[in-house]
Amino acid sequence: MSRLSTTLLVFIVVARALCGQTPEVIAIKCGRFFDGKNLALAENVVVLIEGNRIKDIGTAIAIPQQAKVIDLSRTTVLPGLVDAHTHTFLHGINYDDAVLKKSHQYRAIWAGVAARKILMAGFTSIRDIETEGAGYGDVAVRDAIDAGLIVGPRMQCATRALSITGGYSPYGYAPHVEIPKGVQIADGVDGVRKAVREQLANGADIIKIYIDHRRRNPHGSDPDRLTAAPMFSFDEVKAIVDEASKVGAKVAAHVYTSSAAQTAIKAGLASLEHGIYLDDETFRMMAEHGVYWVPTLMAYMQFMSDPTLSPARKRLMTGTTERHRETFKRALSLPVKIAFGSDLDGRHETAGEELAWMVRYGMPPVEALRSATSVAAELMGWHDRVGTLEPGKLADVIAVPGNPAEDISLVTRVTFVVKDGVVYKHDPGR
C-alpha cells in the first residue's frame, strides 16, 4: 500500500470514529434459529450485525471484542416478518364514517400509531395495500418512517387502489350527492392508464385493483356467496399492468372468483388477494405464471365476532369462512405460492394470529413461517434485502419465546425486534 493510500485509510478510520460513524456491531446468540427458508431450525447460531446489515451467521464465528452481545439463547430467532396485505389506515370503525367523517390528517395519525404496533408485533416489512379513502397518506407514513420521524416497518404503498364506476364503497347515497369513494374510480383503457400514472407520480410502489367486487345487482345476488361481480375488462387490466411495469411496479388484485382471477393472471398480475372461491385450475395457472396467492384468512374471521351481525349476514360469513378453509386446504396440495397477509381492520398488533389460522387449516408451521418471511419478501421483490437471515441482507431480526415450529401461536408473543440494525424491542425477561 502506498504512503498516500495508507494516510488516506487512517484518515477515513479516524474521521469515521470522530463522526461517530463506526458501525455498531451486535452479536445475537440464538437458541433456535430459522433463516426464513430452511425447514429445519438450527441451534446455537450466532448472528453478527454490523450497522444495518447482517455480517455473518454461524455456530463457530468469532465475536469481535467491540460487539454488543445479546443473549437470546432461550428464544427462537427469525427474520423480521413480512405482511403482504395490510392496511394501516383501517381502524375498525364503520367504513362510511372512516371515509366521510375522519379527515385524512386524523387517519394518517391513526396509521402512524398502527405502524408502530405492526413493527412491535415483529413485522419489519409490509405492503400497505390501499388507504381506503385516505388518499396518499400511506406515502407520508412510509416517508416519515424512512426519515426517522416515526417508528414503523419498511413499507410498499398501494395508495388509493383502483375500481370502476359503481364498484366501491360507500354505496347507497342519492344520485345527486357526490361523495368520495374508498378507492380511485377509473374506467376504460385511457382512464386506467391515467390513474396508474397519477398514483405512481404521487408515490405508489405498487398498484392495487378490484377485479371482482360488490356491485348493485338489479336481479339480486346469491345470499350464500359474497358478491363478486366482474369489474375491469381484460384490456383495462392489461393497460394497468403495462403502465405499472414501465417503472417496475407490480399489480395486486382483490379477487374472489376463478373467472376474474384468470383474466388477471393472463394480464400479468403479481398477486391475487383473498381468492375465496378459487378452483384448482386457477391455482395451477397461478403457479405457471408465478402469481402469488395472499389468502388473508383472518380478515373474514374478524367479522364473525361482530355483535351487530344480522342472522343472514352471520350465515353468509359462516359459509364464507368455511369455503375459504376448504380452498386453502386444497391449495396446499397444489404448487401455488402462498404469501402471508393479515388484512386486519384495526387490531394491527394481532397480525401474527394469521399464522395460527394457516396452521390450523393444514399448513406445516415452518411453511407458514416461510410464507411470512421469504415468500412474502419474494412477492414484494425485496428478497435481495429482507425475508431471510443471510450475510449481506438488511438486519431485520426478531425473536419469539420457545419453539414456534411446535407451537405457532408463540409468534404472537414477539420479545425482540431489530429493524435496519436498530433494536426497537427487547424484553430480556422472556
Q: Which residues bind Zn ion (CB under 5 A)?
A: 343
Specify the residue, 212 or 343, whose C-beta has the smaller distance to Zn ion: 343
Give ∠ CA 89-138-179 in degrees, rounded to 5: 60
Query: Phi and psi for 359 in degrees, rounded to 5?
Result: -70, -40
Specify the residue, 50 or 343, whose C-beta has the smaller distance to Zn ion: 343
Report in angstroms how near the CB of residue 82 gets to Zn ion at its nearest. Answer: 16
Residue 82 cell numbers, joined: 413480512
Report which of 162, 171, 343, 174 is spatially closest to residue 251, judged by C-alpha positions.
Answer: 162
Specify the residue, 258 or 342, whose C-beta has the smaller distance to Zn ion: 342
Report in angstroms how near the CB of residue 43 gets to Zn ion at its nearest. Answer: 38
The strand pairing partners of 419, in sequence order, are 422
Longest dimension (CA), the chain: 86
Report in angstroms how near the CB of residue 299 gets to Zn ion at its nearest. Answer: 7
Specify the residue, 296 or 415, whose C-beta has the smaller distance to Zn ion: 296
How many angstroms separate the CA atoms of 114 and 416, rounded? Answer: 18
Report in angstroms how near the CB of residue 341 gets to Zn ion at its nearest. Answer: 8
Residue number with the smallest Cβ distance to Zn ion = 343
Report in angstroms how near the CB of residue 343 gets to Zn ion at its nearest. Answer: 4
Specify the residue, 323 or 385, whose C-beta has the smaller distance to Zn ion: 323
Report which of 334, 387, 386, 385 is spatially closest to residue 363, judged by C-alpha positions.
Answer: 334
Report in angstroms how near the CB of residue 419 gets to Zn ion at its nearest. Answer: 23
| Burial track 161-191 (b if 16+ CB lie within 10 A, e otherwise) | bbbbeebbbbeeeeeeeeeebbbbbbbebeb
Report in angstroms how near the CB of residue 85 gets to Zn ion at its nearest. Answer: 6
Query: Phi and psi for 341 in degrees, rounded to 5?
Result: -155, 135
Specify the residue, 343 or 354, whose C-beta has the smaller distance to Zn ion: 343
Report in angstroms how near the CB of residue 252 gets to Zn ion at its nearest. Answer: 10
Q: How far apart are the first and last CA of the chain?
A: 50
Give me the helices (H) in 338-409, please.
353-360, 365-370, 376-380
Specify the residue, 298 or 386, whose C-beta has the smaller distance to Zn ion: 298
Specify the residue, 78 or 158, whose C-beta has the smaller distance to Zn ion: 158
> Residues 411, 365: contact at Cβ < 8 Å?
no
Cβ neighbourhood burial of 381 (10 Å; 0-12, 13-18, 19+): middle
> Taking the CA of residue 44 as centre, how many other CA atoms within 13 Å lie in the half-sphere pointing to its CB?
3
